[in-house]
Amino acid sequence: MSSNNELLEALTILEQEKNIPKETLLDAIENSLITACKNHFGKSENIKVQIDPKTCEFHVYQEKTVVEQVEDPVTEISVVNAKMINSKYEPEDIVNIEVRSKEFGRIATQNAKNVILQKIREEERKVLYDEYYSKEKDVVTGIVQRYAGKNVSINLGKVDAVLTENEQVKGEVFQPTERIKLYVLEVKPTNRGPKILVSRTHPELVKRLFESEVTEVRDGIVEIRSIAREAGSRTKIAVYSNDPDVDPVGACVGMNGARVNAIVNELRGEKIDIINWNDNPAMLIENALSPAKVISVIADAEEKNAKVVVPDYQLSLAIGKEGQNARLAARLTGFKIDIKNETQAREAGDFMDYENDYEDYDEYEDYEDYPEEEYGDGEYGYEENEYEEGESEKEYEEEILTEEGGADE
């Protein structure tokens, strides 16, 4: 029997500092005692360990079978010796013989110690992995340590993360001890602890920064429906409000631009365009091409392509430097966008004389459902040429001409 207040204190400290449960450490001690018995006696199948978790008092027993003649002293005990312990013992009974762990040899003791240390290291790695795995796909703050080739080592508190060259924003240079925000891409378990891969280029980094900075986004009142990013240069996000009294763009911009400016500063000057989400693809595409003004949008929801007409003087703004504005708008909306100026569109014959006059026809399933004032006779109207039974097409045409003032004779 052993009672060890120092052991209890040591386990309590380990539990607090390394977040390793005391029960796990007691299991490790139990396994180490069984290992020590195996090294000392040559086998451990008949070894039982009892540990009191409150006092760390432990007992180690050998279960021995009572026999008339002993052949294996590790697993058997003679009737005479058994009756010396208790006169009630008879052959085939099981006797628990307490083992004094202090009698173990140096090698057995060292092996037991190694078992405990190995278990502590394994649990420490597991605790760290679980802690950072819960932060996967989220934003963390790290302190720049050093450059390792083209990669950057970032300290996240208890472990270091790796910011690879591919996940760095082109042109960003970090100084040691600098604090930066990072998006956790992946957490992998290894023999040396968790390996954490982080990013500064991922679009979700911007989304998570808005969640941390904008209360309405964090609470779900404002949703970020889509996001397109060219890291280090420009990001477009489409936002939607679940509350009609809340302006989604205004909530994200903040008073005097305070909220969006905080994110821009964290991204080192990266421009951020915030637009209103619209379920009508044409309206969404028009918003996505902001700040360029749009004359008309014809969107094919099935083919996922759209034809856009802009004023002549707005073409370069709509396309953007090196095509960036159009490219980001296409990613944001999911549509392939063909942009033409007014002159080009007229020459191609696919331009109509209306400006930004989009009707939301999605609410009507068939053309018969359109209100007459919206879809009746006229430029975009229709007429149903139904002939009376037995009437030929020529007779029908003559009848129409007669009604209109008579046919030419």
pLDDT per 10-residue tile (average), the chain, 409 residues: 64 79 82 79 80 79 84 84 84 83 71 80 87 93 92 93 94 92 93 92 95 94 96 95 95 94 94 95 94 92 92 93 94 94 82 45 38 36 38 45 43
Confidence (pLDDT) at 36:
79
Question: What is the reported pTM?
Answer: 0.67
d(CA 260, CA 269): 11
pLDDT computed for residue 4 by the predictor: 64
**Of 70, 75, 98, 95, nearest in space to 83 by CA:** 95
Task: Identify the burial level of 13 via C-beta atoms within 10 angstroms of its C-beta, where 0-12 means exposed, 13-18 middle and 19 or more buried.
Answer: exposed
**CA atoms of 108 and 286, how far apart (whole Å):** 77
pLDDT at site 351 = 59
What is the pLDDT at residue 383?
34
